[in-house]
Amino acid sequence: MLKRESFSDRLWLLRRPVQFLTDIAVLTAAFLLAYSPTINFRVGDQHFDQALNQLPFVVLIQISILFLAGGYSIIWRYISISDIRVFLSAALGSGGILLALRFLLVYTDLGRWQVPISVIVISTVFAFGGMLAVRVLRRFLYELGDSKRVPRGRGRVKRKPALLVGAGRMGATLIKEMAGRADAELEIRGLVDDDARKTGGRVSGVKVLGTTVDLERLIEELKIKQVVIAIDHAQGKEIRRIVDLCTTMSVKTQIVPSLNEIAHGRVSVSRIRDVQIEDLLGREPVELDDKNLAEFLQGKVVMVTGGGGSIGSELVRQIKNFDPSLLLLVERAEYALFKIERELATEHPDVRFLPLIADVNDESRMREIFDTHKPDVIFHAAAHKHVPLMESNAAEAVKNNILATRSLGELAGEFGVKDFVLISTDKAVNPTSVMGASKRIAEIVVQELDAKYATKYVAVRFGNVLGSTGSVVTVFREQIRKGGPVTVTDAEMTRYFMTIPEASQLVLQAGALGTGGEIFVLDMGSPVSIIDLAADMIRLSGLVPYEDIDIEFSGIRSGEKLFEELEIHGEVLEKTRHPKIYIGKIAAYPEAEVREMLSSFTDAVAAGEGEIRRLFNQYLPEAKVNEVPDQALSVGSVSSSRFVTKRPKLGLAEK
């Protein structure tokens, strides 16, 4: 959340005496010109003494109003169109005060301070127009000098001829940033935009040459070596179409960082990067109800378990924008906690947070944290989530995903936590794996707790997250880096994918929407073919699938599904007021049955894997968990069971 500008922040003008004196000179000149008969025919030479008397009074009012309007917090060299409103409001404010004084002093003996209306109007226009013009001139001279400046120790780089796709705000910003850099590697020879009305126009001096239909022709005519995608809200299908076309013409394609990356301060617009798989799978940006989220999080003590993980750390990044009074980062992995702790400390020093090394299975440690810090809101993201690993470590899945959730939830109710949000998964729907079944039991647990305590307990389900630790995308990247092969379990396998920021933002929104007992289901779009995902990632690495790098099939692993599902049989998805969040309507389990279930699983942890699997199938009618642990599918032996099948080579047009 943006903080209000403090009074001390505005006092920077005392450190800029030349700029301040320049404004005084402009205001003085504007007022005297307003009294000049050459410009203002309503006054004559006899009024000059009156002008000198009124000058300090008028200049003091104008400079004070500009100061209060925030005009002296604007850095001259970076003045922009949006800053005009500051000068406009200052002009209206000072003009209004002078007019009010003009009429209030009519019946007093202070008539010499009555500024003529014509002088007020003319001097206001000249004064604030002049000060704005001086600042614009300063920016112009700064950018002109910067464009001629060559970095010390190196000459001007040889620039590649490039086309920019996107004649909107992002494209305009990129052109301006690159124009001011002598070391820029691209020479923008033109723009293309699918809004045909822009064709023939210019953006920051660069001409819009056509639409993306003209890309092939323009690449050939202008001998383009690189295409940069700078579309404000580019969709995956748009990016894919451009990338595919440029690939066939052997032209490199890059992209301007997303608005989300820029907003988080990770990169600037000018940091063009290669197109990534996240771009091709990109979805509509999430629209958040900031008012609702502010009410949910502002001024609260917020705990995130698993705060160093992929989802947990992103939740932390999102929550800090809503000004919590304290962020509690609970994490048992020391290095993961260290990374997010350093990020917050260096990039967001104004955020109050506390890194806490703790295991959510350790009831006494968690009780100590609750007793000391009294959290208001809990996001429970700590979990074992890797499907094949949990198949051979079922007891650990039960302890971490079920029993720890129960313990943490009980503490939340006991200590009067307002909201408890469980991070669940689409694998909890009709589960075939230990991991999925354990998360479904965790959902049942929080529903039962919601009926027992005043705390609002909700669960949020979503699919695979692009780039999360251990995800298929990170595995494919590592395999491509090593030269392949890329291994896919089955040619027909599909998965739902979301980006980490999108999933985290929707989790926050779902938490704010919850009234207690809901299982929220996030809109995950259309399922993605894993083999197509692998082929896309190979192409984006500048390689050709089945030529430079093979794609091999290893066979579906125990607990895996060919496709994920969104709802349990008999469950109905209802809309919420957010278009990407639904409520899965399914009856909660009776309290007695949940107590029996948890007691059975507690005993089964010591009894062995087979008993745990049997209990999953007993208590979850929709589950189909293999009751015999498949030891052959342990992590070290997956490769030994691989069988290889190669698809025929496909051209881009056949994909």
Helices (H), 180-308: 215-221, 236-248, 259-263, 277-280, 290-297
The answer to whether the beta carbons of residues 444 and 587 sit under 8 Å apart is no
CA–CA gap between residue 346 and residue 423 (Å, rounded): 28
Helices (H), 310-433: 310-319, 334-347, 363-373, 387-391, 394-397, 404-414
How many other C-beta atoms lie within 10 A of the C-beta of residue 141? Answer: 12
Q: Could you list the active site residues? A: 427
191 CB contacts (<8 Å, ≥6 apart)? Answer: 163, 164, 165, 166, 167, 171, 198, 203, 206, 207, 208, 209
CA–CA gap between residue 419 and residue 421 (Å, rounded): 7
- 532 residue type, one letter: D
- 391 residue type, one letter: E
CA–CA gap between residue 337 and residue 354 (Å, rounded): 10
Tokens at residue 583, please? 């409520």
Contacts within 8 Å (CB) and 24+ apart, 582-589 = 582/520, 582/521, 582/522, 582/523, 583/518, 583/519, 583/520, 583/521, 584/461, 584/518, 584/519, 584/520, 584/521, 586/519, 588/444, 588/447, 588/448, 588/450, 588/451, 588/517, 589/444, 589/447, 589/448
The closest alpha carbon to 168, from 139, 206, 136, belongs to 206
User: Which DSSP letter does residue 402 get?
Assistant: I
The answer to whether the beta carbons of residues 472 and 464 sit under 8 Å apart is yes
CA–CA gap between residue 579 and residue 575 (Å, rounded): 7
Helix (H) or strand (E) holding 577: none
